[in-house]
Amino acid sequence: MRPVAIAGVAEAGVGSAPPGSTPAGLMAEAARAALAEAGLELSDVDGVLAATTQLPMAPLNLSEALGLQPRFLDGTQIGGSSAIAHLRHAAAAIEAGLCSVALIAYGSTQRLVGRATASVQELDPGEAPYRPLMPVTAYALAASRHMHEFGTTREQLAEVAVAARAWARLNPDAWSRDPLTVADVLAAPMVCDPLGLRDCCLVTDGAAAIVVTSAERAAGLRRAPVALLGAGEATTHRHVSHMPDLTRTAAVQSGAEAFARAGLRPDDVDVAQVYDAFTITPVLFLEDLGFCAKGEGGAFVSGGRIAPGGALPMNTNGGGLSYAHPGMYGAFLIVEAVRQLRGECGERQVPGAEVALVHGNGGVLSSQATALLGPAT
């Protein structure tokens, strides 16, 4: 039996949160719902893991909001990949006996309060004089390099947004559900060449929570447990001018470790949730995770392969491009993967999904975290 499993997941305030919402309040709401789904009580929680752009001491805010005094705390803040790193840290803590029920949460009110307030960009002193529009400028630079080295086209990048929208059209909870074509993506106003408005993720509110415990304990709870099969995390830089190779991310390391620990290969993955803050990001990560060779990501995402009915169903809730993107998206990748593996996804359900990959990205392609989820036995 795999040692650790996810026993409950929930979201709160996704899209446009009610006026007066706070990041801690939304996290607490999602946490209570995730515990209820698992059939656990607040008093069962003895580990709290959280990070948000708005609360530098997020695990403390969440513990306070829930009236908890946990014996394990982790506030690892490595951007959008944080929740997947938290999942790995929670598993290690449970296996080491540092806690028995871990609560992972994320919450953002960036749409309510404005992105400039919610997500202050820390600029490198060597970059600031040139006025990059972060984070999008960094991703645009990576896209320009990928196009130069491998001949990747704007049309191929647009395929990522079009596939995400096709999934969102099957998800009544998705933020953007209007039809979207490659031509629409290409015609949208440019933000940072070669990325236009439709190559960029949404800006929404939202919270998510994940309850993790031993697979043994999870087996006796309310919902079918989803086991953590393997995970990895890695980094190459903080600021883009320090990134060694703009076409090769630390997903090479995080993915290799996750697959090795799980004893699986990319071919074994039935459904993938891959961080899509910008259309270039899944192209880079699918290459680095080994779904295709370096440089072939543009062709790989084309022709409907990642869309509904395709060989690699990806970002099945509509992703950060069309479902929601509350600043740091990692927790939402886990929630959708768990729902797919439990077969709860209605019209967008991937039939027979048994193994899911979740891959998160943080900063400006700076941190990468990968996890494989599947059956406990």
Let me know if 139 is a catalytic residue.
no
| Binding of other proteins by 193 (CB under 8 A) | yes
Query: Is-contact 225 5, C-beta < 8 A?
Result: yes
Q: Are 9 and 34 in contact (CB under 8 A)?
A: yes
Which residue type sits at 284?
A: L
Q: How far apart are CA 272 and CA 25, in angstroms?
A: 30
Among 1, 133, 183, 187, the residue binding other proteins under the rule CB under 8 A is 133
From 121-129, 266-274, 286-294, 302-310, give the range in contact with other proteins by CB under 8 A. 121-129
Q: Is 329 a catalytic residue?
A: no
The Cα 30–Cα 23 span in angstroms is 11
Residue 333 and residue 302 in contact, taking contact as beta carbons nearer than 8 Å: no
Taking the C-alpha atoms of residue 335 and residue 8, their distance in angstroms, rounded to an integer, is 9
Q: Nearest-CA neighbor of 100 among 27, 7, 32?
A: 7
**Residue in 71, 239, 247 with CA at minimum distance from that of residue 152:** 247
Helix (H) or strand (E) holding 73, with range, is strand 72-74
Q: Could you tell me how far CA 36 lies from the centroid of its own chain?
A: 23
In the complex, the smallest distance separating the C-beta of residue 128 from other proteins, rounded to whole angstroms, is 9
Answer for which of 42, 60, 113, 145 binds other proteins (CB under 8 A) is 145
Does 307 participate in binding other proteins (rule CB under 8 A)? Answer: no
Of 132 and 374, nearer to other proteins (C-beta) is 132
| CA 364 vs CA 142, 156, 235, 277: distances in Å | 10, 21, 11, 10
Q: Which of 106, 130, 139, 323 is catalytic?
A: 323
Contact pick of 104, 141, 208, 215 for other proteins (by CB under 8 A): 141
- Tokens representing residue 158 in the block: 């647009």
Smallest Cα–Cα separation from 27: which of 78, 76, 64? 64
Q: Which of 1, 183, 190, 311 binds other proteins (CB under 8 A)?
A: 190
We find the least distance from the C-beta atom of residue 243 to other proteins, in angstroms, to be 9
What is the x/- site pattern for other proteins, positions 148-167, by CB under 8 A? x-------------------
- Of 30 and 140, the one with the shorter C-beta distance to other proteins is 140
Choices 119-127, 259-267, 273-281, 361-369 (CB under 8 A): range interacting with other proteins: 119-127
Binders of other proteins among residues 205 to 244 (CB under 8 A) are 240-241
Nearer to other proteins, 51 or 195 (CB): 195
Residues binding other proteins (CB under 8 A): 124, 126-127, 129-133, 137, 140-142, 144-145, 147-148, 189-195, 240-241, 246
Indicate which residues carry an active-site annotation. 275, 323
